[in-house]
Amino acid sequence: MQPSSAVVVPSGDPLKRLSGHRIELRGVSSGYHQKRVLEDITFTVEEPAIYVVLGPNGAGKTTLFRTLAGILQPFSGTVEIDGIDIGHRSARTRLQYLSHIDGIPDGLRVDEALQFYANVEGVTDREVERVVQLLGIQELRSRFFSELSQGQKKRVSIARVFLQERSIYLLDEPTSNLDPKLSREIRDIVLGLSKDDLVLYSSHNLFEAKEIGKYVLALNGGRVGYFGRMSDLRPAKYVIGIRAEGAEGVLGSSTKQGDYYLQELSGPDEVPKLVSELMAKGVRIREVKEMENPLEDLFT
Amino acid sequence: MVNIPADQGGPGAHSLLATTIRRTLTIGRLYILLGVGLSLLLSLVLLATSRAGTVFSTTYPLELPLFATLGATGGLMTFSSDRTKGVFEYLIAYGISPRSLFVNGLISTAALSGIILALSLAVGLGAAQVRGVALSGDLFTALALYTVPMSFAGALFMSTLGMIWSSLSTPRTGINSPAGIAPLLGIAPTILVLIAAESAPRSEYYYITAGAAVVILAAVLALLIASAHLMGRERFLSPL
């Protein structure tokens, strides 16, 4: 893992595609009622990708999203979207924000709730139809939002985000409270967005974060602890799990986690050699997988 | 294409207010029914007395602002609910200013108060006509110089007080919440004005009531200006 004390701006990649859009924070301190939650945040993103924002509870993830969305005014520093200060409305019209709460007004049916936001954004009924199809919420349209399950509520809330296409998406825990199937669908939609757009995505699920994130921005105590490529992260120790038959005699002394025999290696390069040795000893290997998530080290 | 959000005078500007008023009518429908129902009950009781003509003309206009203020609680309830549910968070992200959110809440409250007032006057004066009570010039003077201005002033005062209070405090619901207590505080000026006016000479009665309504509306304006300067956007957000 790279040193985590400094702010790292991903750059210098010759293959990096630029979206033409840019989020830039310089020395941003932000919070609530003079209580600072974020301290001296500086980073820039301009490559279309998913930037996973991680951090323990209270690290400042939601505050960062609210500051980026122009909801909170920074105590100091600047937030710019495409070179325009976030205080200007034209900067805000370039991004879409999904809060960790639903934000659906009381007393409305799903259709009315979507229409409410369609009116605010000034989009047509056609766009409402499009997001209803996209999120598969046709059967929920006539129901009161308050009567829906947590997962259904989340789906409607996410539909709101896609009423109008934007180039920058700030998604604060979009898959919380969702079942695995719907989480997958949401991740697929977000992955689709990331081909052309900038997506900042917060999650408490490290496996999800590792799966979809190209970059990771880890917050710790209101400061940027790490900002860099996901692929550059290496776990402090490299542990693989081997699911195999006929391994009792060979790997019997290894620690076992479920069906997996754990093996600590110095790095991925040693895996082929170990596999060859085991196969030579008659072990029938069914699966080999990494057991440590390097993102876990960002929290220690 | 980037559409213009509501606060920039885009197509959503008027519909956001219209939707807010519509939602306020839905959320506050019970209070509207209570406001209109109580004023109807009052008019029937007053018209049932032996001196119905005098009693109705002097008492009915004085009581209506209480019902119009209490019945307009829906505006405050909608504001409070939108804050707690995170609706304001999205609207601010769309570029809508907190001031607009406040003003929308006030206009919704005024609309409710106006609806209650109109319905109450329609049924009250209608019942008086059916009873054969003559609608005197004094009655219309009282309605014009006390009932109408004080109904709007009281409702707006209640709503402003409640919106600021709910924005400054931790979201909570029930009778102990700002939305539960503010209506009781909101009718206080109406009652105080009545007491003050009663102790003044009859010739100055309506100068006092109409003047008090203006003072209350000025207080509402002052509270709004103060809130715009003192309250940051974070006051409109739901808790983390």
Largest CA-CA distance found in chain B, in angstroms, rounded: 70
Higher pLDDT, B50 or B146: B146
Closest Cβ–Cβ partner in B23, B233, B237 for A73: B233
Task: Say how many CB pairs under 8 Å bridge A and B.
Answer: 100
* Cα dihedral sign, B155-B157-B160-B166: negative
- Provide the pLDDT for residue B137: 86
The interaxial angle of helices B52-71 and B148-168, nearest 10 deg, is 20
B75 phi/psi in degrees, rounded to 5: -60, -45
What is the phi-psi region of residue A105: left when phi exceeds 0, alpha when psi lies from -120 to 50, beta otherwise?
Answer: beta
Pick B111 or B199 by higher pLDDT.
Answer: B111
Q: Are strands A23-32 and A198-202 parallel, antiparallel or unpaired?
A: unpaired
CA distance A72 to chain B (A): 6
| Residue A293, both tokens | 């998530």
Give the pLDDT of residue B186. Answer: 82
Instruction: Choose the closest CB to B90 out of A62, A94, A99.
Output: A99
Indicate whether this complex's ipTM tops 0.85.
no
In tens digits, chain A (300 residues) has pLDDT values of 333 333 444 444 545 566 688 999 999 999 988 789 999 999 999 999 999 999 888 899 999 999 999 999 999 999 999 999 998 888 988 999 999 888 998 888 999 999 989 988 888 899 999 999 988 899 999 999 999 988 889 889 999 999 988 999 999 999 887 888 888 888 888 888 888 899 999 988 888 888 899 999 999 889 998 899 988 877 677 888 899 888 888 887 788 888 899 888 887 788 889 999 999 988 899 888 888 777 777 766
- Chain B hits for A68, CB-CB cut-off 8 Å, are none
pLDDT at position A1, please? 39
Of chain B, the percentage scoring pLDDT greater than 90 comes to 28
CA contacts within 13 A on the Cβ side of A153? 19
Query: Is A57 an interface residue toward B (CB < 8 Å)?
Result: no
Alpha-carbon gap, residue B19 to A258, rounded angstroms: 55
What average pLDDT does the segment B99-112 reach? 92
Contacts of B232 in chain A (CB under 8 A): 33, 73
Which of B94, B100, B167, B168 is the best substitution to test chain A (most A C-beta atoms within 10 A)?
Answer: B94
| B65 compared with B182, residue with greater pLDDT | B65
pTM of the model: 0.79
Domains of chain A: 23-232 (3.40.50.300), 238-299 (no CATH)
A102 contacts chain B (CB < 8 A) = yes
What is the model's pLDDT at position A154? 87
Alpha-carbon distance B104 to B163, whole Å? 11
State both tokens at B19: 């939707």
B-chain CB neighbours of A117 within 8 Å are 90
- Token duo for residue A20: 């033409």
- Find chain A residues with C-beta within 8 A of B105's C-beta: none
Residue A269: predicted pLDDT:
81
* Closest by Cβ to A122, choosing from B3, B89, B91: B3
- Is residue B202 pLDDT above 80, yes or no? no
B19, B87, B89: residue with CB nearest A119: B19
Q: Which residues of B touch A (CB under 8 A)?
A: 2-8, 10-12, 15-16, 19, 23, 26-27, 78, 81-82, 85-87, 89-96, 232-234, 237-238, 240
Tell me what pLDDT residue B6 has: 44
When pLDDT is cut at 50, 70 and 90, the band that residue B95 belongs to is confident
- In B, minimum Cα distance to A104 occurs at B87
- Per-residue model confidence (pLDDT) at position A168: 94
pLDDT confidence of residue B173: 64
* Pairwise CA distance, residues B157 & B160, whole Å: 5
Output the pLDDT for position A2. Answer: 39
Strand-pair category, A49-54 with A215-220: parallel
Q: Tell me if B95 and A89 make a contact (CB, 8 A cut-off).
A: yes
Interfacial A residues in 154-173 facing B (CB < 8 Å): 160, 164, 166
Domain boundaries, chain B: 11-235
Can you give chain B as a three-state secondary structure string?
A: CCCCCHHHCCCHHHHHHHHHHHHHHHHCHHHHHHHHHHHHHHHHHHHHCCCHHHHHHHHHHHHHHHHHHHHCHHHHHHHHHHHHCCHHHHHHHCCCCHHHHHHHHHHHHHHHHHHHHHHHHHHHHHHHHHHCCCCCHHHHHHHHHHHHHHHHHHHHHHHHHHHHHHHHCCCCCCCCCHHHHHHHHHCHHHHHHHHHHHCCCHHHHHHHHHHHHHHHHHHHHHHHHHHHHHCCHHHHCCCC
Of A71, A164, A166, the CB nearest to B89: A71
Which residues does chain A have within 8 Å of residue B89's beta carbon, measured at their own beta carbons? 66, 71, 99, 101, 103
Shortest CA distance to A122 belongs to which of B20, B100, B94? B94
